[in-house]
Structure 1
């Protein structure tokens, strides 16, 4: 997924003179978070106590800086907004690091403190962003001549902070503001419980040798038990191998049932509460729906624009989707001797799609996997990104990390440090189970020099064993290139203010989606796709077979994504407290409305383990919204060459480095030298 993340836009620290009696106790010298500018955090020695001290100290210092803003007589950009950006930067770092360790630390106490203290920062952010005294200082500045003279990124910086305060309830009366704060705290708590329930579900598919037919031998070896049966953990890393390959239909159905019920015993009720409380929060601020409230700060601006976008793509992709269903049904009927009128089951889609790939296009994803060992893929990915973007990655030997498998790198442009990133690639107990590019700190100018951005790639790829390296499918390679695109987006920011580091949420995926195109070029892929045993390069004919089959089921899969968009928007734009949504029935209703196939598996609750509708409501349409921009921008590389550094550096400086310093649409058109359109996206799906 995507750049998700838990950087809560707000607040932290100014070194102003303090009365000795009021001065806070400094952070302990041996606290792993007590580091100098651009010095790595000592993650290996982080404990729950260290998180508690670090976040408490950060909050204390933030409050002092904010009180200093309130005492200013004549607000200026420097003594109000820039101090606020410092506050935002430091609180964001405290929150991001705490939450990252909640997601990924192997220590239970560290995870618990990480969650607890990230929630404390979240609560403080709610208080700060609705603080009328601070807001009044900001508004005073907007009445000055200095404000009227602001242009470009500085004006955007000030205006965005003002909008954020308004969206945070600053203009509510005292009673409603308390309701707003209570709702925000309750939503944060419920969201954390949802994630914990999802990540600790620990469902297991138990099958015998008969049930394992079709599964790759290396995959079977990983999960074989002493008695000759198989116990396969139900998680994103195992979904593809089982659903694509299990010959036994009942095994596929059992797996998808287990997968779609993770956390359902608790999360269905939590989701209902989240939907209601988000609706109530929006109503407090005068919005018809949570979507209307939430979309104000996104490119789309309002639900009407999103619905128009979704419905347009539904209409364009439906004819191809209907043909795709018939192709899958015809193949199923021919091999399984199924009656021609039998509907296509949801648990059969990926299996028969894969069978057609194998038998009609000569594409065997499991054989291709043998040419994509993780180490080779990382080496190739690094070489491509470095050459294209004019950067250099230097591994940090013996880096202090939160788990022995984590790797750390520093990013340079010539001899200038540009950033630092961590790779945490494999699943383990209690770790967040999805895929993310996670920002840990944003770039910004400071009095002591430039503070470089830091990020981590959280993955759950198939882990290596004693006898086998981690082997990626081409789809998983796509995910790796995508998520690393988020890392490069983070590393590229070199703006003045931390609060401008992240782009509009519905444009954020574009900067990583574009890089998925590189693995569909044989010259690029063959530079690192080498067989893990023989070193043989991926045969050209195998690649072009994949390319020929690229748009097999593309309409159907597009409709599947759009189905998720519609579901997300229904939860948060169509909610009626007098007629609450049945979140299971909603799947059935959408399938009927789209009229392509019945995706819903009776007895399942996929909404109980879907991170987006939990932590990023009204976000899912952004994947397709961003994809339109990504494919349009890729036309520049198609024209100039996929290794063309001048185009890559231009892309880095105009698009990746932008954040919200400049309107995203303006930046895209500056990069393209023309108006943007959706022609390349439609072509990429084979829908022209």
Structure 2
């Protein structure tokens, strides 16, 4: 049934002054595109700024009334406290996620503005709810009752995790400190939004003449050629590889990297300093030494010491290979351009000379391989594989209501039963978020009228096709597509009772998609869809074998580069001292010196100004490597049983992807492996064994 319009008022979650200005009659019109029946898709094509405002206001008001009802219960039970709370967080999560997604993707400026504004209103209400002392008191009352002790382990974890999150949200702080905590959270939300907007609207463009464009792929040049014969190349993720891998002129590569690493810098350097300082203040309020210490409490790593030990071990493990890689690159430079071995290798030259090694020593040309990877064929291959492996069925929604004509929609079925829905938004356009993400739009949850299925969106920015050529991607971009679609499958695999148990530990979440990157390194898999866009020729086995042989070229240097980012993130949020001025540029130099391999930092650049992780996901970057260790270990089971083995795939879906937080991660992984996990497969994957 559709959402019923009801008249309610916003009660005591906000201050008195806010109550006077916010009291509204919440009615969701029948023609609002978000007013749909259970598991009916939102009517995105009809969404306007006004409809976002109506929808989110309705959900906020309804949530506020529910919270008041929970607090008024004379005897706290699971059914009258935690279950309605889960329902509230589910609907607010949908409202916030969809609003923010439209801020990222809509072509309409008012819709984007309202999407941001009302996603922030949801954030504000979430902060108010999670610090509501009377609500928390009800939860603790139930925790101390016999009703809690009678719950099974999964439901006890559900209760325990909610209580833990309330404590981390400052609910036990004195009133004055709690108000400061909430103010800081609101300020941080505003700053992260400003940062993202500045990054995505930077619009920095590199203009090249024919000499400057030498070496760039012809189809790439065709895309950015102007009427006066120059090339205007936007500095964005989709253009980085083609330029940095192929531009013959070192000055072209440097100029591009300077632009790319300065997106949003004018405003975002100051915003980043404010974010680091405010997050530090927040952690101090909570009684922690650093923001990292506070942030890591609910994660697998638990504390900064564990993360630093993890990073330091991998730094030591990969350093020798990284130094060897550097000499290999210098040798390639000497052979290609007769530059002496004792001359420093510039950071903007790494990708280029690596690509030269791939082309000359291994006969691996990324641009030629791209011709075998049209996006549509890759999607068809991915869909076929995931359906077969995970025992699912994808059905395209024809004439689906979407926010842009290029967006595609699919429904997912298991044995004829609706399992979920996903959207694909794969190409760049003005004002759209510029990175690659799998974005959950709603989680699975048991409802009175049936099961509410999860919904997710894959946001990409692959190079668009032209009148002459289809959209084609590199093998590395194919890895990204497999990775992000893995996240999408993770979101859609959840089948738990509670919405709040849909998410796993945030430093494990990447493992569940990283594992799928391994499938593109199997010839049987890859050749099933990697066919030349013109001739239909299958990617030659000899070319694939060369790709495998070249897989770990500069793997040590790549590992050190990732670890460098981990160290930067952790230094910002674990080593910050408010009494010492924070120079976020100097930090890059200090880390380079500490690693002792090469100077990666380019003077005059500020890559920290367009790095989404340290903005919206602080103390997260180590999680990619942490997760990779788990991913490679879990992949050994597929490697043994077969990459198309459906029994293993379904077991992986049920035990790992569908788990969320219903049981401990290590327990689920150990059951899947049949043994405790280890890092041997990860070390081997880097060629470091």
TM-score, normalized by length of structure 1? 0.97
CA distance 1:331–1:103, shift in 2 (3 Å): same
Q: Distance in 1 between matches of 2:517 and 2:650?
A: 18
Distance apart, 1:541 and its partner CA: 0.3
Tell me the CA shift for residue 75 of structure 1. 0.4
Corresponding position of 1:646: 647
Matches within 5 A, 1:125-524: 125-524=126-525
Deviation at 1:340, TM superposition (A): 1.8
Cα deviation digits, residues 356-394 of structure 1 (max 9, x gap): 000000000000000000000000000000000000000
- Following TM superposition, by how much is the alpha carbon of 1:502 offset from its aligned partner in structure 2, in angstroms? 1.0
SS of the residue aligned with 2:296?
helix
2:554 match: 553
Higher relative contact order (CA 8 A, sep 6+): 1
Aligned equivalents of 2:150 and 2:297: distance in 1?
25
Check whether the contact 2:5–2:27 (CA below 8 A) recurs between aligned residues. no
Supply the distance in 2 between the matched residues of 1:609 and 1:40 (Cα, whole angstroms).
33
Question: Is the contact between residue 563 and residue 590 of structure 1 (CA under 8 Å) also seen in structure 2?
Answer: yes
CA–CA separation in structure 2 for the residues paired with 1:49 and 1:435:
28
Paired residue for 2:61?
60
Per-residue Cα deviation, 1:268-291 (whole angstroms, up to 9, x for no partner): 000000000000000000010000
RMSD: 1.5
Deviation at 1:210, TM superposition (A): 0.4
| CA–CA separation in structure 2 for the residues paired with 1:386 and 1:662 | 26
Asked if the contact 2:26/2:61 (under 8 Å) is kept, the reply is: no
What is the 5 A alignment of 1:22-33? 24-33=25-34
Q: Partners of 1:417 and 1:435 in 2: how far apart?
A: 27
Structure-1 residue corresponding to 2:45: 44
Counterpart CA distance in 2 for 1:465 and 1:52 is 37
Q: Is the 8 A contact 1:333 1:339 kept in 2?
A: yes
**1:19-51 deviation digits (Å, cap 9, x = unpaired):** 9xx995431000000000000000000000000
Could you tell me which residue of structure 1 aligns to residue 667 of structure 2? Answer: 666
CA distance in 2 between counterparts of 1:585 and 1:426 reads 35
Please name the residue that 2:544 is paired with.
543
Q: Is the 8 A contact 2:199 2:263 kept in 1?
A: yes
| Residue 337 of structure 1: how far off its partner (Å) | 1.4
Q: Distance in 2 between matches of 1:14 and 1:85?
A: 20
Partner of 1:9: none
Contact 2:142 2:148 in 1 (8 A): yes
For the 8 Å contact 1:425–1:461, the answer to whether it is kept is yes
Contact 2:573/2:619, CA 8 A, preserved across alignment? yes
Q: CA deviation at 1:581?
A: 2.0
CA contact (8 A) 1:14 1:86 kept: no
Q: Say which SS state the counterpart of residue 599 (structure 2) adopts.
A: coil
| Higher alpha-carbon deviation: 444-453 or 462-471 | 462-471
Write the distance in 1 (CA, Å) between the matches of 2:470 and 2:425. Answer: 16
CA distance in 2, matches of 1:465, 1:386: 30
SS at match of 1:533: coil
In 2, the alpha carbon distance for the partners of 1:14 and 1:198 equals 40
Distance apart, 1:330 and its partner CA: 1.2
Distance across 1 between alignment mates of 2:5 and 2:201 = 42
1:52-80 CA distance string (max 9 Å, x none): 01000100000000000000011011100
Work out whether 1:122 is the aligned partner of 2:120: no
Distance between the aligned counterparts of 2:409 and 2:462, measured in 1? 18
What is the CA deviation profile of residues 71-112 of structure 1, one whole-angstrom value per residue up to 9, with x for unaligned ones? Answer: 001101110000000000000000000000000001110000
> 2:5, 2:28 within 8 Å by CA — same for their partners in 1?
no
C-alpha contact 1:101 1:110 (8 A) present in aligned 2: yes
Q: 1:83 to 1:193 in 2, by over 3 A?
A: same
Q: C-alpha deviations, 1:398-454, integer Å up to 9, x for none?
A: 000000000000000011100000000000000000000000000000001000000
Equivalent-residue separation in structure 2 for 1:580 and 1:665 (angstroms): 40
Q: Distance between the aligned counterparts of 1:661 and 1:343, measured in 2?
A: 52
Counterpart Cα distance in 2 of 1:15 and 1:651: 42
Contact 1:291 1:303 in 2 (8 A): yes
The alignment partner of 2:358 has SS state of helix
Distance 2:668 2:6 in 1: 37
Give the Cα separation in 2 of the matches to 1:97 and 1:297.
26
**Change over 3 Å in CA distance of 1:17–1:47 after alignment to 2:** closer
Shift of 1:146: 1.3
Q: Within 2, Cα distance between the matches of 1:612 and 1:65? A: 34
Q: Is the 8 A contact 1:24 1:61 kept in 2?
A: no
1:150: Cα distance to partner? Answer: 2.1
Size of the aligned set, in residue pairs, is 675
Residue pair 1:72, 1:79 contacting (<8 A) in 2 also: yes
Structure 2 CA distance for aligned equivalents of residues 15 and 306 of structure 1: 49
Offset at residue 149 of structure 1 (A): 2.1
The alpha-carbon deviation at position 343 of structure 1 amounts to: 1.1
- The match for 1:3 is none
Give a deviation string over 1:174-193, Cα, whole Å, max 9, x none: 11011001100000000000
Query: Hey, what's the Cα distance between the residues in 1 that align with 2:524 and 2:497?
Result: 38
Q: Distance in 1 between matches of 2:7 and 2:152?
A: 32
The Cα of 1:153 is off from its aligned counterpart by 1.4
1:443-493 per-position Cα deviation (integer Å, ceiling 9, x unaligned):
000001000000000000011111111111000000000000000001100
CA distance in 1, matches of 2:553, 2:384: 30
336-345 vs 549-558, greater mean Cα deviation? 336-345
User: Per-residue CA shift, 1:578-598, capped at 9, x if unaligned?
Assistant: 013210000000000000111
Residue pair 2:8, 2:25 contacting (<8 A) in 1 also: no
Task: Give CA deviations for 1:497-552 in whole Å, capped at 9, x if unaligned.
Answer: 00010111000000000000000000000000000000000000000000000000
Q: Is the 8 A contact 1:554 1:685 kept in 2?
A: yes
Number of the residue aligned with 1:81? 82
Distance of 1:594 and 1:523 partners within structure 2 = 39
In the TM superposition, residue 350 of structure 1 has moved relative to its aligned partner by 0.2
**Which runs of no fewer than 5 residues in structure 2 stay unpaired?**
10-22
**What is the rounded CA distance, in whole Å, between the counterparts of 1:366 and 1:332 in structure 2?**
20
Structure 1: tracts of 5 or more residues without a match: 1-12
C-alpha separation in 2, matches of 1:18 and 1:477: 49
Distance in 1 (CA, whole Å) between partners of 2:655 and 2:24 is: 43
| Equivalent in the alignment of 2:20 | none
Distance 1:23 1:124, change over 3 A: closer
Contact 2:8–2:65 (CA under 8 A) maintained in structure 1 = no
- 1:636 alignment partner in structure 2: 637
